[in-house]
Amino acid sequence: MERKKTIFEEVVIDPMAHIVSKTDKTGRIVYANEAFAGISGYTRAELEGKPHNIVRHPYMPKTIFKFMWSRLLKKQNFYAFVKNLTKDGKFYWVVTDFEVKCDDRGEIEFIYAYRKAAPKKGVEEVSKLYQKLVALEERYGMHEAEEFFLKYLKDNKMNYNEYVDYLLGNSSMFKSWFTSLKKIK
């Protein structure tokens, strides 16, 4: 598989930016807003129609995406800290709130992702976990990484949502941001 170019340079995101995309149930992008295009370095036309892993950063654990898809396909909303890759190999951190939209028959029609710049403290904390997961995935495989992830949450006496709330610090502030973002789309 072709390894995408990465450079250790962070793209600073305007804290007011609302980065929105919408996919079908396979993760193919059907809508990208201007902010997403601007930050990722792609044009909207380059993003739309492509699988969302176009911005996948190799330092994001497979474990987190697997967990994410298992929740989304059960029509459960999800949120996560995500490190993304720009077209020219830089990175940016966002907090993403995923929202599943079903049609009249209850089938998944679209999945929305609303993103804001991630708080620095949360990024510092979650990076340690993600680095460990990526290392375990590479060295021992997915099973070991998933076991570690579940044990990590258990040892910290938190479920996943509680863990993300903890990373967000003032989660109520983010929750109200996400609620207002959902009205924009």
Ligand X SMILES: Cc1cc2nc3c(=O)[nH]c(=O)nc-3n(C[C@H](O)[C@H](O)[C@H](O)COP(=O)(O)O)c2cc1C
Determine which helix (DSSP H) or strand (DSSP E) holds 177, and give its type and residue range.
helix 171-184
Alpha carbon distance 147, 72 (integer Å): 20
Is 64 one of the binding residues for ligand X (CB under 6 A)? no
Which residue among 6, 31, 59, 65 contacts ligand X (CB under 6 A)?
Answer: 65
By CB under 6 A, the residues from 14 to 53 that bind ligand X are 21, 23, 27, 52-53
Comparing CB distances to ligand X, the nearer of 44 and 158 is: 44
Considering CB under 6 A, how many residues would be counted as binding ligand X? Answer: 14
In angstroms, what is the minimal distance from the CB of 38 to ligand X?
Answer: 14
* DSSP output for 50-108: SBGGGGB-TTS-HHHHHHHHHHHHTT--EEEEEEEE-TTS-EEEEEEEEEEEE-TTS-E
Residues that bind ligand X (CB under 6 A): 21, 23, 27, 52-53, 55-56, 60, 65, 82, 84, 98, 111, 113
